[in-house]
């Protein structure tokens, strides 16, 4: 089975061109215009020896082999989507999973595997900087993966790095406060320890963590990369071949694969990613300015609209499409969420329609109350994912909810 090759010049083209053409080289070579969907769960083998060799290679993390054998091991539709995301991320490899949490889990398992393979008696730990996505916080705080977590401040990573540090985990912009973490500074502190960045809030047209020294860039592709509210997926990109092998190894063993229909929808959505993000970013900036002037809003959070403006300029090409704002109390937040009519009150983000939700009770409801308080996840905080509607229409809807 031939590899789903990236286009040779993808990294030298502009982001809009890359988004359109990434992951399509072998499709074009087959005389096709639209990416096909291969829904096969299993594949006929050409011979027992060849198939046995392929199973062994896939089980140890190979990207491709002579025989596809079985969909848990390889699927060409998934491989094309992975190739496209890798091109956008300036990565050599991308591994796709059935959800963002599956991608995070696989990354943590791969990090642990790297330590215990060298020392079976080791007790690996992860250094993590809050805030992060609530379910990710919950996973790191649980014992289910055999990893301890040390929650540290971004400036204190170096003093906690040791021989059993498996990974440094950060999210930037952070969910839900949109606080930025300096990726290059974290990598400098981490030294040889791998750094994984959850970049879900900043898709590759805004931020490429690998360009700033990160080992892995993770996305819940359910969000901006899928972009239409009809895909659940996760991706991890890297330029480290050993990491890519471990990530695929974990996927094969745990069965955390992405379904080819979801891969098709993900790949289908990538050409419009730059246009969607840039349009929504313009509207989000407009809404943030209006929120700052509204008497019901106590504080507005958006990358680049604070003392972190210089970091945003170094690390991101724009502020993005996410806004968080504080209305003071949980009751006022409830009133806003339940009063909007055009906006959709729902979790998730990065879709073509505007979504609003209450982090403290929803996406971060499982996070320890003290941790929420310490990291700005207040009772009155609301998170807004701005879509493609007209700015005036969105403001009319939001302002009437704020006035209520």
CA distances from 26 to 145, 157, 269 (A): 38, 43, 18
Q: Is 144 helix (H, G, I), strand (E, B) or coil?
A: coil
Q: Is 141 left (phi over 0), alpha (psi -120 to 50) or beta?
A: alpha
Residue 10 has pLDDT above 60, yes or no: no
Q: What pLDDT band is residue 117 in, cutting at 50, 70 and 90?
A: very high
219: nearest Cα among 198, 243, 250: 198
* Domain extent listing, the chain: 10-271, 273-403
Q: What pLDDT band is residue 8 in, cutting at 50, 70 and 90?
A: very low
Segment 75-92, tens digit of pLDDT: 999 999 999 999 999 999
Mean pLDDT across the stretch 162-184? 97
Q: In what order do the strands lie in the sheet with 299-301?
A: 299-301, 322-326, 381-385, 355-357, 344-345
Cβ neighbours of residue 134 under 8 Å, at least 6 residues apart?
A: 175, 359, 363, 364, 365, 366, 367
pLDDT > 70 fraction of the chain, expressed in percent and rounded: 97
- Both tokens of 92, joined, read 């050599």
pLDDT of residue 390: 98
Least confident of 12-16, 95-99, 157-161: 12-16
Segment 237-296, tens digit of pLDDT: 999 999 999 999 999 999 999 999 999 999 999 999 999 999 999 999 999 999 999 999
Q: What pLDDT band is residue 13 in, cutting at 50, 70 and 90?
A: confident
pLDDT of residue 4: 36
Segment 199-212, tens digit of pLDDT: 999 999 999 999 99
Segment 281-323, tens digit of pLDDT: 999 999 999 999 999 999 999 998 878 999 999 999 999 999 9
Domain 10-271 in CATH 3.40.640.10? The answer is yes
CATH class (in words) of the domain with range 273-403: alpha beta
Q: What pLDDT band is residue 11 in, cutting at 50, 70 and 90?
A: low
Residue 355, H or E segment: strand 355-357
pLDDT of residue 94: 98
- Both tokens of 338, joined, read 């339940």
Q: What pLDDT band is residue 70 in, cutting at 50, 70 and 90?
A: very high
**φ, ψ dihedrals at 382, nearest 5°:** -120, 145
Question: Which residue is it, tokens 């053409």?
Answer: 21
Residue 14 has pLDDT above 70, yes or no: yes
Question: Which residue is it, tokens 């839900």?
Answer: 176
Mean pLDDT across the stretch 49-59? 97
CA distances from 90 to 4, 99, 222, 241, 312 (A): 16, 22, 20, 14, 19
- Say how far apart CA 368 and CA 376 lie, in whole Å: 13
Mean pLDDT across the stretch 20-27? 91
Q: What pLDDT band is residue 379 in, cutting at 50, 70 and 90?
A: very high
pTM of the model: 0.94
Residue 2 has pLDDT above 90, yes or no: no
First-to-last C-alpha distance (Å) of the chain? 60
């Amino acid at each position: 089975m031939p590899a789903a090759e990236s286009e040779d010049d993808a990294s030298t083209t502009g982001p809009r061109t890359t988004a359109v053409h990434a992951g399509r080289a072998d499709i074009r070579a087959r005389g096709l215009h639209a990416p096909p969907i291969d829904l096969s769960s299993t594949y006929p083998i050409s011979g027992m020896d060849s198939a046995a060799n392929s199973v062994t290679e896939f089980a140890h993390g190979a990207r491709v082999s002579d025989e596809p054998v079985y969909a848990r091991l390889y699927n060409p539709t998934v491989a094309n989507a992975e190739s496209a995301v890798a091109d956008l991320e300036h990565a050599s490899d991308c591994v796709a999973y059935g959800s963002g949490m599956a991608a995070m889990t696989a990354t943590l398992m791969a990090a642990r595997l790297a330590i215990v393979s060298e020392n079976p008696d080791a007790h690996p730990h992860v250094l993590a900087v809050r805030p992060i996505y609530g379910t990710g916080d919950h996973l790191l705080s649980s014992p289910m993966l055999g990893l301890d977590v040390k929650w540290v401040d971004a400036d204190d990573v170096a003093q906690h790095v040791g021989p059993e540090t498996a990974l440094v985990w950060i999210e930037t912009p952070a969910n839900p406060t949109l606080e930025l973490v300096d990726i290059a500074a974290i990598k400098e502190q981490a030294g040889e320890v791998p750094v994984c960045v959850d970049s879900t809030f900043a898709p590759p047209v805004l931020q490429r963590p690998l360009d700033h020294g990160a080992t892995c860039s993770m996305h819940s592709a359910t969000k901006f990369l899928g972009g239409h509210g009809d895909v659940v997926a996760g991706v991890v990109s890297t330029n480290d071949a050993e990491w890519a092998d471990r990530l695929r190894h974990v996927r094969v063993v745990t069965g955390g694969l992405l379904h080819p229909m979801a891969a098709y929808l993900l790949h289908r959505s990538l050409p419009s990613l730059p246009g969607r993000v840039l349009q929504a970013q313009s509207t989000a900036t407009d809404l943030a300015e209006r929120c700052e002037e509204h008497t019901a809003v106590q504080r507005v959070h958006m990358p680049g609209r604070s003392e972190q403006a210089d970091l945003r300029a170094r690390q991101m090409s724009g502020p993005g499409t996410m806004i968080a704002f504080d209305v003071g109390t949980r009751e006022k937040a409830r009133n806003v969420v339940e009063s909007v009519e055009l906006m959709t009150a729902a979790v998730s983000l990065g879709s073509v329609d505007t979504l609003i939700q209450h982090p403290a009770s929803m996406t971060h409801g499982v996070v320890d109350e003290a941790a929420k308080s310490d990291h700005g996840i207040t009772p009155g905080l609301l998170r807004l994912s701005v879509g493609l509607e007209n700015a005036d229409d969105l403001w009319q809807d939001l302002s009437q909810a704020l006035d209520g």
